[in-house]
Chain A
Amino acid sequence: MTTTTSTGSPAPTAVRLARPPSLWARTNKATLVMAAVTLLVFVFFSVADADFLTFANVSNLATQVAPTLIVGVAMTFVITAGQIDLSVGSIVAFVSAVCAQLLLAGWDSSVVLLAGLLMGLGWGLVNGWFTAYQGIPAFIVTLASLSVVRGVALLRTEGFSVPIASTTFFARLGEARWLGFSLSAWIGLVVTALGLVLLHHTRFGQYVIGIGAAEESVRRAGVNVRLVKMAALGFSGLAAGVAGILIAARLGSGSANSAQGFELTVIAAVVLGGTSLLGGRGTIVGTLIGAILTGMIANGLTLMSVSPYLTPIITGAVLILVIWINLRGRGIGPLLRRITSRP
């Protein structure tokens, strides 16, 4: 390596050192592979079924993808910080069921909306407190709350679906549209944009990444790592609350049995996108692509009148296939070095 640090001219070196890398070097290659796969699947369904590439279906797809995307963006923070949140499906069910009950009890929609968000955030903070301040692994904490949260919802509703009157403002949210896309889709877009900024352009995002890579290093740098971890799990709870509200509004009912296995869909979308399950590396754009891919597979297969029981099988197979391709794809040139140099 040649450097120009002769006396009095450190400036050129500094300029060279700070020069940003090319766009190609900055691109997450795993995300790129996923984008290509998503495009292929998109083309496949477009050719295979005439109804797939219509505005009505694309708009419908956006609505279906939105809950996964909203929770997926928050989950990206959780997983990047080296944590996991298995309770999001239960929180979605809890919030949708309890919101429907509160509406039935005569609460005003605006109060119910606020209550729904606070319930989601509250469960998330409970997860976060046990994880960050009591040192119990997030996997265990959220596995327990997965059971408890849905259990409370089932106990309250006795398993019945609670209808939401279509005259309420709450229910009208489910039908609200702008430029042909549903409110859910727009909220999904806004949450993605917020997530992008938060993860890549704020100290909070930097510490989330740092904690996933080496928590002790971040702690020694004087950062309150417990607060950051609790906030990440609080976010995923809050996002699950938003998703619960949107799902209940769209379906016109709230059920404690809804969103079964939702957490796995979300985690699959996040991991498909290129976020590392080991922590320290996260991509919001990847989560967007992952959510679209998993949603598209379910949507396309439904259109092609394939048995609905085949969808989870194909989604799971795609998950393992894509991750396998990813690991192969990284085995070239500098990418190999990048991976092998990691402990």
Chain B
Amino acid sequence: MTDALLVELRGITKSFGPVRSLRGVDLTLRRGEVLGLVGDNGAGKSTLMKVLAGAVQHDDGEIRVRGRAVRFANPSDARAEKIGIVYQDLALCDTIDVAGNLFLGREPRRGPFIDRTTMHAEAARILAELDVKVASTHQEIGTLSGGQRQTVAIARAVSFAPDVLILDEPTAALAVAEVESVLRLIGEVAARGVGVILITHRLQDLFRVCHRITVMYEGTSVDDVPIGELDIERLVGLITRSEQREASA
């Protein structure tokens, strides 16, 4: 982890009609850091990440990537700034094999034809490097378990060599062993110097991989705490704002 800021969000706001989803969010991310983004449903986590991935355009506020102010009109702008995102639905094709999914939209070619030998060799190299557990790059995605699909989706995002990787609920609905392999992969990716933002409701996962937690509440970022200063109970308190409510009661 380095001290130079990779991503800096300042006062991000976003309204959908009369609904103010984001009311001024601040967030920072460094290289090699895993940042946990938590908050109750409707707190604005996903909207904020869509803003950072270029899928949603913010109204006000500033996005700085590597110290430079940027504004994303669409997802490819964000991709050009080396920001990658894995959505909850993974965006994989069930009837295409693992290699085909890793290279979907950018298949290596020889003349007009897909160079399958190169594609499978490259895919195998990527998967072996990240230690992703699949039997073969020829396996159809539909035959994989939820955890394997998740790791393939993450491997696909990593293969674009992003500086920032956003993961939306990567461990939801996975078996215990599969959660382990996804968490290990997240650590692996961060160790390569990628800044990872992890959205999750599984609080125990945060303590396994995150360095820092940013808490959102009703469209604002309310806390930014190193993981060492937290335990589960305090974290739950930060998310539900129970202390404040008790204080004001």
Contacts and interface: CB of A to CB of B under 8 A. Distances in A.
A166 interface: no
B93 A213 contact: yes
A341 B142 contact: yes
A221 B138 contact: no
Contacts of A197: 113
A20 B120 contact: yes
27 contacts: A1-B133, A13-B128, A14-B128, A17-B134, A18-B136, A19-B136, A20-B120, A20-B138, A26-B138, A197-B113, A202-B114, A206-B107, A206-B114, A209-B93, A209-B95, A209-B96, A210-B96, A213-B94, A214-B92, A214-B94, A217-B91, A217-B93, A218-B105, A220-B91, A222-B76, A222-B105, A341-B143
Closest 6 CB pairs of A and B: A221-B105, A17-B124, A18-B124, A280-B95, A14-B124, A13-B128
Looking at chain A's contact residues, the main secondary structure is: helix
A21 interface: yes
A57 B123 CA distance: 50
A38 B127 CA distance: 42
Given A21-B138, A338-B140, 11 more contacts: A1-B133, A1-B135, A3-B133, A13-B124, A13-B128, A14-B121, A17-B124, A197-B113, A206-B104, A212-B95, A223-B105
Contacts of B138: 19-21, 26
Nearest to A223: B105
A216 interface: yes
Nearest to A197: B113
A10 B128 CA distance: 6
A214 B128 contact: no
A177 interface: no
Interface of B: 75-76, 89-96, 99-100, 104-107, 109, 112-114, 116, 120-121, 123-125, 127-129, 131, 133-138, 140, 142-143
B121 A18 contact: yes
A88 B205 CA distance: 55
A201 interface: yes
Contacts of A18: 99, 120-121, 123-124, 136-137
Contacts of B129: 10
Contacts of A217: 90-93, 104
A21 B98 CA distance: 13
A201 B113 CA distance: 5
Given A214-B94, A220-B91, A222-B105, A338 B142 contact: yes
Contacts of B92: 214, 217
Contacts of A218: 93, 104-105
Interface residues of A, number: 39
B94 A203 contact: no
A20 B124 CA distance: 11
Contacts of A212: 95
A281 interface: yes
Contact of A15 (B106, B107, B124): B124
A172 interface: no
A342 interface: yes
Interface in A8-65: 10-11, 13-21, 26
Contacts of A202: 112-114
Residue from A5, A11, A203 with most neighbouring chain B CB atoms (10 Å):
A203
Contacts of B137: 17-18
Given A15-B124, A17-B134, A341-B142, A206 B94 contact: no
A25 B36 CA distance: 42
A210 B128 contact: no
A218 B96 CA distance: 11
Contact of B104 (A13, A15, A26, A210): A210
Contact of B107 (A20, A203, A213, A341): A203
A280 B124 contact: no
Given A203-B109, A209-B96, A338-B140, A214 B91 contact: yes
Contact of A337 (B75, B100, B133, B143): B143
A180 interface: no
A178 B133 CA distance: 54
A220 B124 CA distance: 23
A106 interface: no
A190 to B, nearest CB: 17
A343 interface: yes
A81 to B, nearest CB: 12
Contact of A3 (B89, B93, B94, B131): B131
Contacts of A13: 124, 128
Contact of A338 (B109, B124, B143): B143
Interface in A289-343: 337-338, 341-343
Contacts of A216: 89, 91
B62 to A, nearest CB: 27
Interface in A234-282: 280-281
A214 B113 CA distance: 22
Contacts of A14: 121, 124-125, 127-128
Contacts of A3: 131, 133
Contact of B95 (A15, A19, A281): A281
Contacts of A16: 124, 136
A55 B22 CA distance: 76
Given A221-B104, A343-B94, A17 B136 contact: yes
